[in-house]
A and B are shown apart, each in its own frame.
Chain A
Amino acid sequence: MAVVEMRKLVVIGLNNIRTPFLQELMALGVVQINSQEGQIDDQEWMPDIFRTSNSADVSRLEADILRVHTALDAINRYDEGKKPLFLIRDEFENDAFDRYMDKEKTAIERNVDTAFLANKTIVESQNEINRLSGLIVGLEPWKNSDLPLQIGETETVSVLFGTTNAKTNFAELAVELQVASPSVIVEQVSADPQQMYISFICLKEERDAALDALRKFSFNMVALSDHEGTAAEAIGNIEKQIEKWETKKAQAEDELKSLSGAKKSMSHLYDSLCVRRDRAKIVGNMVSTEEVFYFDGWMLWNTRDDVEALLEEYDCYFRYEKPAEDEEPPVFLNNGNFATPFEAITSMYSLPSSKDIDPTKWLAPFYFIFFGMMLSDAAYGIIISVVCAVAIKKYKLEGSLYRMVKMFFYCGISTFFWGAMFGGWFGDFFTVAAKLFFGADFTIQPIWFNPLEEPMTLLVFSLILGAIHLFVGMGLQASILIKEGKKVDALCDIGLWYLLLIGLVLYGVGGMVTPALGTIGMVMSIVGAVGIVATGGRTKKGIVGKITGGLGSLYGITSYLSDVLSYSRLLALGLATGVIAQVINLLGSLAGGGITGAIVLTIAFLFGTVFNIAINMLGAFVHSCRLQYVEFFGKFYTGGGKPFEPFERKTKYIKIIKEEKNNG
């Protein structure tokens, strides 16, 4: 299966069936509609056709969606119920959802309005409260003054409030002010480390003189005449206002809390609106005349029966086209049951372009093995698999998250397998525990061997696995070349390398078994090497170019060497998991036997195990990826495909059952 075949679909239909047709096409969800922007600018057609667009509809729906979104957000903020870790979507039958929406829409919208208004009230109240609290802070220093703030001026006197430099000597200030304005009554209201707060009353005509005298104390007038009564009274008033806003806010909050039951139906409305918005939006991708509409796009070729039936039902004209040479159809992957979860790895790198093959089913078994070897602890494997299985069952995961978790489920099985092979069960926990509490010697024997005792065996095994991995990659490159008709390239660039590399291995290893194998290996590698030197520069011009090209490609053998050595990380990371597990167990056992010992061991064991699984799973994940991306993909894969984005119902909170088969 791998990459699903795509065909271009061209459709013309009558305008009067457009809406119901689109609705059903969307339910089918197997066609990607291309944007027609700049497609039809043929002078001859220009006057009769136009790009359809209902941007007014779209923006109205967008506004509705935003409103529901705000309402949902607000309710969520005050919802005290437990929130699930993953969103579980509600399931609906295809038609049942539409019927349900028709029936409930008005009621739900009323709830949305209530929530939206309540949210608005909360925001307003909060703003008001903040503003008023700011006022209180400003009035705080004047609390001790018994002058009414609003006076400002009477017929004959001025009342002034202001601040001076914090270092001001008030006695000195009072004297100087008295000199300038004999009528003055000055008072220090309060002081803080930044400023001194003073108020004074003087005759109107002496006001300027007084201000002049105060200049050297850096006097700043403070306008307080907006307030009523003394500062203390004003603060009291403001506090009352704040209280009023607080109650208002609390009421709105209660309202939102009481709406938490309506959250579900509101999220359904949200999805319904999104689907309608998408449907309205897609019309902008089409062109129309007075009578008909036109669109083209990509469809999954294996769904043509369904699409055809729909098109015929609506009497549309349609045509299929094979993708042209220079066209890149979007990519939709479909692999078997086991490999599908590993599409996550492929798509994290890049989807295959039309010239690539889908690497998923090739990398899947290797990823499976590598991950297991790097973690290689049977008990950890069981934990990972069980956790993943429970998560899949309980949270009904979907989409890429589902694929990822499913992949880790498989990797857990592999981890269990390799753990059992190498005898890792929580490191050496059972040995330590048996010794500590029962004084018994107990070891779970590895099925194969213990890598801590025979690291060289595992190193060689890792490198052999790596060589197989690389050879598979090279084989894939050869198959791509052969498919493109470049048989000579396949023979020279891959075949000769096979010869050389296998020959070298035979010469080195086989020679130890029987000398005959060694001789065969030597001959093979010499033929391979000569062949590479002879053909490596075949595309270059001139004798010198050909020779240097040939030698240059033989020099590429160093890259094979480093590629193979890179697989030694299988050993290193496998050891790391095992040894860290042992460190944990050892730390836990330091407290000795008995009850205390048991408690210490349990605590160290629990924390340590979680830590070890987390850090080494990350390591195993990253390094398995690296081996695929750098060593394996480097041999044959380029990527750069665009994902297939069908015109379908993209819903966040609900799941329409009919769609299920396309969500894989």
Chain B
Amino acid sequence: MVESLFSGEFLALAGAAVAALAGIGSAIGVGVAGEAAAGVVSEDPNKFGQVLLLQALPGTQGIYGLLMAFLIMNKVGLLSGSMASLTMIQGASLFAAAVPIGLVGIFSGIAQGKAAAAGIMLVGKKPSEMAKGMLFAAMVETYAVLALLVSFLMYNNIQI
């Protein structure tokens, strides 16, 4: 039982799962931004398009997580139906590769959601300053992008 927990295959799949957890951050972030957006739209329905763009910004972490999870699943052959047999080291390496985007995705998604919500408030008061609001949120995303990069480079150099 314990042995199967540390099999390469299981660790690799656990890695894919961890990567997909980045979606938690995006879900919370998009939710927080959505609450702010609804408030602004209630005052001025014409701003819907603008605030929707801002609300979408924290959504990318989830996509990065999906991307990483997919890459791992594809690499181990889960999707093509014939799963490769992995050593524990290989599995653990894939797990490690998933951790950066999974963890950073959660926290940066939440933080970006807050920044996006503030940006939405900004649009509520000064619609012409939308670009700046987007920029503030995009500053946070940098770290998710970097984490994705680290994850990808690790993943890419794991031989199976």
Give the residues in chain A near B5, CB-CB below 8 Å. Answer: none
Q: What's the dominant secondary structure at chain A's contact region?
A: helix
> B84 to nearest A CB, angstroms?
17
A625 and B135 form a contact (CB under 8 A): yes
Q: Which of B53, B66, B71, B146 contacts A568 (CB 8 A)?
A: B146
Max count, chain A CB within 10 A of own CB: residue among B53, B66, B70, B131: B131
Q: Which of A116-124, A221-229, A532-540, A573-581 contacts B (4 or more CB under 8 A)?
A: A573-581
B59 and A615 form a contact (CB under 8 A): yes
Q: Which of A456, A459, A573, A618 contacts B57 (CB 8 A)?
A: A618
A576 to B65, CA, bound (A): 10
Give the residues in chain B near A572, CB-CB below 8 Å. Answer: 145-146, 148-149, 152
B152 and A455 form a contact (CB under 8 A): yes
The yes or no answer to B139 lying at the interface (CB within 8 A) is yes
Contact code string B100-144 (vs A, CB < 8 Å = 1, else 0): 000000000000000000000000000000111011011101100
> B58 to nearest A CB, angstroms?
12
> B75 to nearest A CB, angstroms?
11
A580 to B142, CA, bound (A): 19
A182 to B99, CA, bound (A): 87
A21 to B146, CA, bound (A): 61
Give the residues in chain B near A576, CB-CB below 8 Å. Answer: 60, 63-64, 67, 148
Tell me whether A626 and B64 are in contact in the complex, defined as CB-CB below 8 angstroms, given that A566-B142, A615-B56, A618-B56 are known contacts: no
Closest to B156 in A: A455
Q: Which of B70, B71, B134, B156 contacts A622 (CB 8 A)?
A: B134
> A345 to nearest B CB, angstroms?
8
A590 to B141, CA, bound (A): 32
Give the residues in chain A near B153, CB-CB below 8 Å. Answer: 455-456, 459
B142 and A569 form a contact (CB under 8 A): yes
The yes or no answer to A387 lying at the interface (CB within 8 A) is no
> B159 to nearest A CB, angstroms?
13
A392 to B149, CA, bound (A): 37
Q: Which of A349, A455, A580, A582 contacts B63 (CB 8 A)?
A: A580
Give the residues in chain B near A575, CB-CB below 8 Å. Answer: 67, 148, 152
A349 to B130, CA, bound (A): 10
A590 to B74, CA, bound (A): 13
Give the residues in chain B near A579, CB-CB below 8 Å. Answer: 67, 70-71
The yes or no answer to A619 lying at the interface (CB within 8 A) is yes
A82 to B35, CA, bound (A): 33
Give the residues in chain A near B146, CB-CB below 8 Å. Answer: 565, 568, 572
**Which residues 32-80 of B have a CB within 8 angstroms of A?**
53, 56-57, 59-60, 63-64, 66-67, 70-71, 74, 79
A455 to B71, CA, bound (A): 14
B135 and A629 form a contact (CB under 8 A): yes
Give the residues in chain B near A622, CB-CB below 8 Å. Answer: 57, 134-135, 137-138, 141
Tell me whether A625 and B131 are in contact in the complex, defined as CB-CB below 8 angstroms, given that A568-B149, A573-B145, A579-B71 are known contacts: yes
B139 and A630 form a contact (CB under 8 A): yes
A593 to B82, CA, bound (A): 19
A615 to B60, CA, bound (A): 8
A629 to B53, CA, bound (A): 19
The yes or no answer to A26 lying at the interface (CB within 8 A) is no
Q: Which of B56, B135, B145 contacts A569 (CB 8 A)?
A: B145
A626 and B53 form a contact (CB under 8 A): no
A571 to B149, CA, bound (A): 8
Give the residues in chain A near B135, CB-CB below 8 Å. Answer: 622, 625-626, 629-630
**Which residues 529-581 of A have a CB within 8 angstroms of B?**
565-566, 568-569, 571-573, 575-576, 579-580
B67 and A580 form a contact (CB under 8 A): yes
The yes or no answer to A1 lying at the interface (CB within 8 A) is no
Closest to B79 in A: A586
Give the residues in chain A near B156, CB-CB below 8 Å. Answer: 455
Give the residues in chain A near B152, CB-CB below 8 Å. Answer: 455, 572, 575
Q: Which of A349, A583, A590 contacts B131 (CB 8 A)?
A: A349
B134 and A625 form a contact (CB under 8 A): yes
Contact code string A246-263 (vs B, CB < 8 Å = 1, else 0): 000000000000000000
Give the residues in chain A near B134, CB-CB below 8 Å. Answer: 622, 625
Give the residues in chain A near B148, CB-CB below 8 Å. Answer: 572, 575-576
The yes or no answer to A348 lying at the interface (CB within 8 A) is yes
A343 to B134, CA, bound (A): 18
Closest to B137 in A: A622
Give the residues in chain A near B56, CB-CB below 8 Å. Answer: 615, 618
Give the residues in chain A near B59, CB-CB below 8 Å. Answer: 615
Give the residues in chain B near A583, CB-CB below 8 Å. Answer: 66-67, 70
The yes or no answer to A623 lying at the interface (CB within 8 A) is yes
Give the residues in chain B near A348, CB-CB below 8 Å. Answer: 130-132
> B63 to nearest A CB, angstroms?
7
Give the residues in chain B near A582, CB-CB below 8 Å. Answer: 70
A615 to B132, CA, bound (A): 19
A629 to B132, CA, bound (A): 9
A566 to B144, CA, bound (A): 12
A615 and B138 form a contact (CB under 8 A): no
A84 to B59, CA, bound (A): 31
Give the residues in chain A near B130, CB-CB below 8 Å. Answer: 348
Closest to B80 in A: A586
A459 to B153, CA, bound (A): 10
**Which residues 468-522 of A have a CB within 8 angstroms of B?**
none
A569 to B138, CA, bound (A): 12
A459 to B146, CA, bound (A): 12
A541 to B153, CA, bound (A): 48
A575 to B155, CA, bound (A): 13
Closest to B155 in A: A455
Give the residues in chain A near B66, CB-CB below 8 Å. Answer: 580, 583
A618 and B53 form a contact (CB under 8 A): yes
> A440 to nearest B CB, angstroms?
18
A615 and B63 form a contact (CB under 8 A): yes
**Which residues 571-627 of A have a CB within 8 angstroms of B?**
571-573, 575-576, 579-580, 582-583, 586, 590, 615, 618-619, 622-623, 625-626
A590 to B70, CA, bound (A): 14
Closest to B74 in A: A586
Closest to A612 in B: B63
Closest to B56 in A: A618
4 closest A-B pairs by CB: A348-B131, A569-B145, A572-B145, A622-B138
A-B pairs with beta carbons under 8 Å apart, 16 shown: A348-B132, A459-B149, A459-B153, A568-B146, A568-B149, A572-B145, A572-B148, A572-B149, A572-B152, A576-B60, A579-B67, A583-B66, A583-B67, A622-B138, A623-B145, A626-B139
B interface residue numbers (CB < 8 A to A): 53, 56-57, 59-60, 63-64, 66-67, 70-71, 74, 79, 130-132, 134-135, 137-139, 141-142, 145-146, 148-149, 152-153, 156
Known: A455-B152, A572-B146. 13 other contacts (CB 8 A): A348-B130, A568-B146, A572-B152, A575-B148, A575-B152, A576-B60, A576-B67, A586-B74, A615-B60, A618-B57, A619-B60, A626-B138, A626-B139
